[in-house]
A and B are shown apart, each in its own frame.
Chain A
Amino acid sequence: MTDDPTTALRATRLGRRFRGGWALRDCDFALPAGRITALVGPNGAGKSTLFHLATGLLRPTSGDLRVFGAEPGSQAARDRTAFLAQDKPLYPRFTVDETLRFGRELNGDWDHASAERIVRAGNIPLDARVGALSPGQATRVALALAFGKRPDLLLLDEPLADLDPLVRIEAMGLVMAEVADRGTTVVMSSHVLSELENACDHVLLLKQGAVRLDGDTQRLCDTHVRVTGLADPATDDGLPPDVDRATVVEAAVTGRQVHALLRHSDWSPAEPWIVENPSLEDLLLAYLRSDQPAEAAGAAA
């Protein structure tokens, strides 16, 4: 179980506490290798903490996290992992060429040709100073640096923030091409849910430091239903009494109408109800909005 090749990132009762409290607590998940996982959650949900734990920049307070079976920060894990932090740290005084050569010095298995190709494809002169690049060009150089490392696991913390729409597609296209080429496992956080919909095939949703949703995106959409119909005035949430309340992710009454998202429900309403599978964005929004406590995690805090 420690070295399962189909799991890229495995957390077992993972927790990390800061002075202000628990950033992550009792998290269990196994992110599949060769897939593109969307890491979703409100600000402060623990997304960046998770990235820092996965790269060994932070140590867990409790529990355990493994990268392809190895301890984050160990040589074995570092060789296989590339991390692009939110602020894309590059040395502004270096030229692009110096930045790439720096990458070659720091990494044993370095693919200089690929890194240079990515930079050239963006029409970025190799002798330009990094500090003088546009945000889009800097992202491209940062991605070139990450891909040159030939990682098996690529961690991207808000890679598209502060980029214009054209550059966003270009940057995401670069990541997808790398996945198509090398089967790289990607874990990517973003607040722009619509952009994740076409790119990601797995989702990990964190809220208040706990895992709220973890699974294959298609499966999640298939096992949830969006129902809309006439509200039942006799119940608090407007849903008929025969709906198993444990399956209700969210329910909202507007006038005479009730609109709800149900999970794994065997409740199949008759004709006047509209029943449809949610889009990924719809599903994630419902979980982000819903306030039901994640198991009993809040009780002990």
Chain B
Amino acid sequence: MIAFRIDRRSGVATYLQLAHQVRQALRLGVLEPGDRLPTAKEVVEAIAVNPNTVLRAYRELEREGLVEPRPGQGTFVRRSLAQPAAAADSPLRAEAAAWVGRARAAGLEREDVAALAASVLDDAFPLPDPPPPFIPAQKQKPEHTHTQEEDT
């Protein structure tokens, strides 16, 4: 189980913050395949956001194939994002550290390095399509916290 937190000043949409925190937990191994995510009710009670925000975050993660809703049971983790190649003692990290060291020696500031890295990342990992529009559920009956009818 994980606890969410919201940075209200970040300017990042709240549902994206929640989805990001789940991905982060998957990378760190805090969440593993088979784990249940907190229900919308549990999340909103703790951080006081609109329940649809949580459902939207979970739908985004479902779209990425990371979690799956099981009717009547909740939303469960399908796969991990833990990457042994990205661990603290991995050769990739050592290479990145050496590269940052050379950039610094060449006189680049932190922001210059970040911009350079971001531009390389953009070339290597083109941005995905934006997610489909989210239509909040028109909930008339209780129960089914994780399934939603589309309103028409």
Contacts and interface: CB of A to CB of B under 8 A. Distances in A.
Interface string B5-41: 0101001001000000000000000000000000111
A169 B47 contact: yes
A198 B140 contact: no
Contact of B53 (A33, A198, A279): A198
Interface stretch (A69-77, A175-183, A242-250): A175-183
A183 B142 contact: yes
A198 B51 contact: no
User: Which secondary structure dominates where chain B touches chain A?
Assistant: loop
Q: How large is the interface on B (under 10, 10 to 19, 20 to 34, 35 or more residues)?
A: 20 to 34
Contact of B14 (A6, A176, A182, A198): A198
Given A197-B8, A198-B8, A173 B140 contact: no
A199 B45 contact: no
B145 interface: yes
Contacts, number: 67
A199 B49 contact: yes
A176 B140 contact: no
A229 interface: no
Contact of B41 (A33, A177, A201): A177
Contact of A183 (B11, B44, B140, B151): B140
A176 B44 CA distance: 6
Interface residues of A, number: 27
Given A198-B8, A198-B53, A201-B52, A180 B44 contact: yes
Interface string A139-179: 00000000000000000000000000000011011111101
B26 to A, nearest CB: 24
Nearest to B11: A279
B36 to A, nearest CB: 16
B115 interface: no
Interface stretch (B73-81, B88-96, B131-139): B131-139
The 8 closest A-B pairs by CB, nearest first: A183-B139, A176-B44, A172-B48, A180-B51, A177-B45, A180-B41, A173-B48, A198-B49
14 contacts: A34-B138, A34-B139, A34-B140, A36-B50, A170-B48, A180-B51, A183-B142, A194-B8, A198-B6, A198-B48, A198-B53, A199-B50, A201-B52, A279-B11
Interface of B: 6, 8, 11, 14, 39-41, 44-54, 136-142, 145, 151
